[in-house]
Chains A and B, each alone.
Chain A
Amino acid sequence: MDIYIQLALSGLFIGGVYALISVGLTLVFGVLRVVNFAHGEYLTIAMYLTYFMFQRVGIDPFVASIAVVPLMFVLGLATERLLIRPTLEAPHVVQVFVTFALSLFLQNLLLALFTSDFRSVRTPYATAAFQIGPLYVSWLRAAVFVVALAFAGGLAAFLKYTYMGSAIRATAQDRRSARLVGINVDRVYAVTFALGCALVGAAGILLSPLFSVNPYTGADMILVSFVIVVLGGMGSIAGAVTAGLLIGVVESFTGYLAGGELKQLVYFVLFMIVLAVRPNGLFGRKGAEVMDVT
């Protein structure tokens, strides 16, 4: 019995990070209708920023977030302005090309700057753990889980209770009507994209004491996020969080019961079953896209 609780805990902890990565991706899709294939590279960039602040200046990753999250936000604003906005009216395939090309460009830029060596943030607390009865709980993983969920909760509150948040939700549901109630939709796009980057940046910071970074780390991590976003329902924050935790736990259990090589197989099967029963994902809402003309 203990082992199952331990597995569930491990799964939930990593699922919290999956959720945070996926929340940004699903938000950007829900509002801009753009699938950002470069989402993973923003994770990588944040991990590098955190690494260098730790290595060169000696700033703890959790403290570094005060600088890194805003930096990622600004980077998101710039990307939206320069690359995304000019293609918003273009066919979807153009946006796919743009974000995919951006992903390759950033990978190779990082490769040129930092080589493909793995860099590790080595904090004294990285492997510290406490014991409750027979359970081992890593302080860091527990903290990462709590902070990740706090970020996701913060986002939900922001969307629910602020003017900008309402404007973002309104734009996602009907861009034309959003314009007609006085929402500056271009600004909403910019803020949303930047928020997506800031959130994945936060995930990168949280991951950096756990995982080493090289230019391809983000690309590896982001695969599961695409599954999570679709599983949760594209555009749904609650869906991304739920699916993130679910995938984390499923991975953990299959890793133990069936062996690590079957982990992905099992969650892809789960993915197909859910989509067969609920084609719009766990929390997806049918027709949300149809509402969007102009």
Chain B
Amino acid sequence: MSQSKRRLARREVLGLLAAVPAVFSSRSALAQEPIKVGGIFPLTGGNSVFGNQNFQGVETAIELVNDRGGVKGRKIQLFKGDGNSPQAAISETNRLASREGVRIFVGSSTSAVGMVASQEAERNGAFYWEGMAVANNYTERDFKNVFRMGLSAAGLGEPAPLYAAEVLAPMLKIDSKNLKVAVVAEDSAFGVDVSRAVIAQAEKLGIKIGLRELYSAKTTDLSPLVLKLRSLDPDMIIATQFINDAILFQRQMKEMNYSPKAFVGTSAGHSTLSLAEAIGKDVNGIFSSSFPLDANLNSLSAEARADREAFLKRYEAKYKVAPAVQESLGFVVGIALARDILGNATSDSASDLREASLKVDVPVGSYINGWGLKFDDKGQNRRAFGSVVQWQDQKMISVYPAANKVHDPIMVPLPARNAR
């Protein structure tokens, strides 16, 4: 093959690759030029469970907004960027920026991906809308055009000890000062940050931490940990776990006939349907401090109630299951970006979007999970708060705080496993 021919062939291949996102993007009529938004999520690889769930939520929100007529008559075109690793997140952000002319990004499921993708967007002068990455230092980087609508690790973890002191301790008839808590976490940045926030909050409340134990989420045997817990015998376990290790942990506690009086997870593995699929009725009674799944309907605005209904209908029609926490979060992040930022900005340039973000003032209860939107000077949403859900009858039910509560907690203290 001659040199020139080879070059031509490569250009053709690149052309084909460039056409791929167009196939995935929403099929809007291009009467007016669409607003291009790039979603940077891990869609393949180890973290892709949450990445896909988040993306599905965002996508549902964008489709809903488009079907309602778009943003000031313009449709939103959503591009997929597979940030399956930090390196991929960088190259996908750049690809969408240079090849598709995307100037608005949304992400990113994990902090590892979100931190680098937002940095890359900032460097390109683009706008980055973060929903899921929780790293505490995410908003400490003095970026101009990066805003986090979702929670920090602290925001995600703090409801667990708060709920323990406020609700669980009285139900267990233990003074919260005498409550003995073991903190268990997987050892990536997620587990480390969240468990640290849990401990800080617990100590503030005077709760004693009996044990803080980290382990790798890829572990195949957690029985040593169960043995340790058994000998410590805490009243409560607060665990930050991904899916597989959360399942393994529950199964091995059962094998070794061990149970604390209360078990509180912190999102991720404990707020996903796979847990119920894996352990069945044993899931009942487990709490999870979490991005809110649902809100108390009375605390929602009329618009949020309509959104909620539309979201549930669309999601269930498309995926044949009820949305869980991460899908619902994706939806909120997508709706907020489309309606309250793009909808109020003078243009879709990064500086106008920044302007709109700084000005935005959406009251609590305006989104389906009960959140509102108001940024502090670091670009962190002050109207996002964590909540606590409990598995009841193998479904996640919001139990805390009051604005989200749809049902009372049950099974405190945890009954024997055959009674769950």
Contacts and interface: CB of A to CB of B under 8 A. Distances in A.
Direct A/B contact, Cβ within 8 angstroms: yes
Interface of A: 3, 6-7, 10-11, 13-14, 17, 107-108, 111, 115-120, 122, 126-129, 131, 136, 138, 141, 210-212, 214, 216-217, 220-221, 223-224, 248, 251-253, 255-256, 259-261, 263-264
What does DSSP make chain A's interface, helix, strand, loop or mixed?
helix
B2 interface: no
B187 A122 contact: no
A119 B51 CA distance: 17
Contacts of B48: 111, 116
Most buried by B among A17, A115, A138, A261: A261
Contacts of B248: 210-211
Given A116-B52, A122-B279, A129-B257, A260 B222 contact: yes
Interface of B: 44-46, 48-49, 51-52, 187, 213-216, 218-225, 227-228, 231, 243-244, 247-248, 251-252, 254-257, 274, 277-280, 282
B221 A255 contact: yes
B377 to A, nearest CB: 36
A211 B222 contact: no
Contacts of A129: 255-257
B280 A211 contact: no
A120 B275 CA distance: 9
B227 A120 contact: no
A141 to B, nearest CB: 7
8 contacts: A10-B221, A122-B278, A210-B248, A212-B243, A214-B49, A255-B224, A260-B214, A263-B216
B220 A212 contact: no
Nearest to A17: B220
A116 B49 CA distance: 5
Contact of A116 (B44, B222, B254): B44
Contacts of B218: 220, 223
A259 B215 contact: yes
A111 B44 contact: yes
A10 B44 contact: no
A211 B254 CA distance: 14
A141 B278 contact: no
A13 B280 CA distance: 24
B221 A14 contact: yes
Given A3-B231, A259-B214, A252 B224 contact: yes
A196 B8 CA distance: 43
A7 B220 contact: no
A122 to B, nearest CB: 6
Nearest to A9: B223
Nearest to B49: A116
A265 to B, nearest CB: 10
Contact of B215 (A6, A128, A261): A261
Given A120-B274, A255-B215, A216 B256 contact: no
A111 B82 CA distance: 13
A47 B143 CA distance: 45
Contacts of B224: 7, 10, 252-253, 255-256, 260
A282 B219 CA distance: 24
Contacts of A259: 213-215
Nearest to A139: B255
